[in-house]
Amino acid sequence: MVVISDTLKKLKITAVDRTEDSLEGCLDCLLQALAQNNTETSEKIQASGILQLFASLLTPQSSCKAKVANIIAEVAKNEFMRIPCVDAGLISPLVQLLNSKDQEVLLQTGRALGNICYDSHEGRSAVDQAGGAQIVIDHLRSLCSLTDPANEKLLTVFCGMLMNYSNENDSLQAQLINMGVIPTLVKLLGIHCQNAALTEMCLVAFGNLAELESSKEQFASTNIAEELVKLFKKQIEHDKREMIFEVLAPLAENDAIKLQLVEAGLVECLLEIVQQKVDSDKEDDITELKTGSDLMVLLLLGDESMQKLFEGGKGSVFQRVLSWIPSNNHQLQLAGALAIANFARNDGNCIHMVDNGIVEKLMDLLDRHVEDGNVTVQHAALSALRNLAIPVINKAKMLSAGVTEAVLKFLKSEMPPVQFKLLGTLRMLIDAQAEAAEQLGKNVKLVERLVEWCEAKDHAGVMGESNRLLSALIRHSKSKDVINTIVQSGGIKHLVTMATSEHVIMQNEALVALALIAALELGTAEKDLESAKLVQILHRLLADERSAPEIKYNSMVLICALMGSESLHKEVQDLAFLDVVSKLRSHENKSVAQQASLTEQRLTVES
């Protein structure tokens, strides 16, 4: 390494004197030393202060500019050399060299800038200020259709440079998107799909850019879906497929692209993967099965793509997905149940599926997961049943198929996501189904569990759904027995609290249930209503200007119903209800104004 010190000294002199031959010799010597031990040579270069001289050797007139750019590319492989390269003022002359017509100069300059930008905020900033990105994108555009090896190598370097420049930097990625890099890269992928290195660069770039929301619209206006599916069909290696998956997943979050992917035949590829990998226990195959089936479910989240694949319930894709549910593979059971939940997003599909026996398949699946079951499968199957229970016509069919019994087996679950879906499914099933609501409302085990979950402060979703189901049991059954069960289990206080919810729909459901309690079983519930401070809460709801009209209306209906209880009547008299109610007689909402008049009469008579 003594030689390198001599070379550096000599280089300092010749760089100033510009003796071309000895300069070339010195640079060759440096490149050789870097090839043997890059880190050590780079340290010596930095210590010698020669970097500052390189700027003068990067001028368009300089005959050794390509070699100097090559040396910079080599030293910038070291993290500790990137900021010194920026400080030595090398970025601006390097960016100027991007205007060269010489392929070797372009190649080495692209490498140098790409390496300086790698994980370096300072490097990226300097390239950004010098306007390097736009020049590189222009090159990509003009060189895009040339397929000779030298040109493909240059395109690969330029793609790599843009990637290093913008990786994990949202504002620089947005800048590239605004410069129109996406259509250019998609075109590159289409033309150069035989070139593995370039294809890989394009894929990594897509993966980075696709994370940005603003990129999705640009991607949707290209034929990216077609190109990726074409590429995917050709791949045999797991790693290459995995790379394509990493681009497909963020892109498929966009509904327009979902449809394009379905039309380009991605679903058929995914179904084939599932078929090939389902019985394998190799780790790569298990990963691919999961990625493939997850992506399939994601495609079904778009309304148009989902409907296209449903094909009136006759679609081969829909049929294949159905066959996943009885399989022995948990991942497929999960994907199958989630897919059904996605297909069940409109009444027509739901009615068709229930008429064609899907409920029994889902109940069998749940049955297999009652004891120490797979929580994600339980959650997915319950989600599907909940969605299927939305159309009125399906409720009675599902009730007579025994869905409530199947769902109640999970009452002992300690998993909030499962509890949440279980509650939602039962609530959907009993909507306007008096008999079912009465049967469930008299089920002490269920009601006690609901009361317990009404206190699940850590899980707002479970708490809200439990309250709503309690209220629904009363509203749909209008049964004294149900009210008695709820009173005995300590559920009244939760319904009173629910009347103060921030969600109008929940407040309303609570007030209607409480009015039914007051009408049917006031004597039994009296003490609980009193200790829950119902009268004070109603006063507050009526006095609050922000309360919705329906809340005011139902609060007044409830006040009238409470007059039948001596103790509650006394509470109403003690609070100045007349003042609040008489103000509401001039309310802009007709129903509220009328109910205010009636309530005022009632209060006056009773006082």
pLDDT digits (tens, 9 = 90+) for 427-456: 999 999 999 999 999 999 999 999 999 988
Residues 483 and 505 in one domain: yes
Angstrom distance (rounded) from CA 176 to CA 138 = 12
> Within a domain: residue 96?
no
Range 318-341 average pLDDT? 92
Alpha helix (H) ranges present in 210-357? Answer: 213-220, 224-234, 238-251, 255-263, 266-277, 283-299, 303-310, 316-324, 330-343, 347-355
State pLDDT tens for residues 358-394: 999 999 999 999 887 889 999 999 999 999 999 999 9
> Within a domain: residue 418?
no
> Within a domain: residue 323?
no
Residues 516 and 444 in one domain: yes
Question: Is the confidence at residue 466, as pLDDT, over 50?
Answer: yes
Q: What integer pLDDT is reported at residue 14 of this predicted model?
A: 61
Residues 437 and 527 in one domain: yes
Residues 507 and 556 in one domain: no
Residues 466 and 551 in one domain: no
Select from 510, 531, 552 the last residue of a domain. 531
Residues 445 and 523 in one domain: yes
Residues 445 and 503 in one domain: yes
> Within a domain: residue 459?
yes
Select from 485, 506, 531 the last residue of a domain. 531
> Within a domain: residue 469?
yes
320 dihedral zone (left: phi>0; alpha: psi -120 to 50; beta): alpha
> Within a domain: residue 103?
no
Alpha helix (H) ranges present in 532-587? Answer: 534-543, 549-562, 566-574, 577-583
Q: What integer pLDDT is reported at residue 1 of this predicted model?
A: 44
State pLDDT tens for residues 396-406: 999 999 999 99
Residues 437 and 512 in one domain: yes
% helix / strand / coil in the chain, to the nearest 5?
Answer: 80, 0, 20
Residues 515 and 584 in one domain: no
Provide the domain limits for residue 444: 433-531
> Within a domain: residue 538?
yes
State pLDDT tens for residues 572-581: 888 888 889 9
Question: Is the confidence at residue 112, as pLDDT, over 90?
Answer: yes
Residues 445 and 481 in one domain: yes
Residues 526 and 539 in one domain: no
**DSSP result, 158-214:** HHHHHHHHHTT-HHHHHHHHHTTHHHHHHHHHHHTTT-HHHHHHHHHHHHHHTTSHH
Residues 517 and 577 in one domain: no
Select from 509, 531, 553 the last residue of a domain. 531
Question: Is the confidence at residue 180, as pLDDT, over 70?
Answer: yes
Total structural domains in the chain? 2
> Within a domain: residue 575?
yes
State pLDDT tens for residues 529-568: 999 999 999 999 999 988 999 999 999 999 999 988 889 9
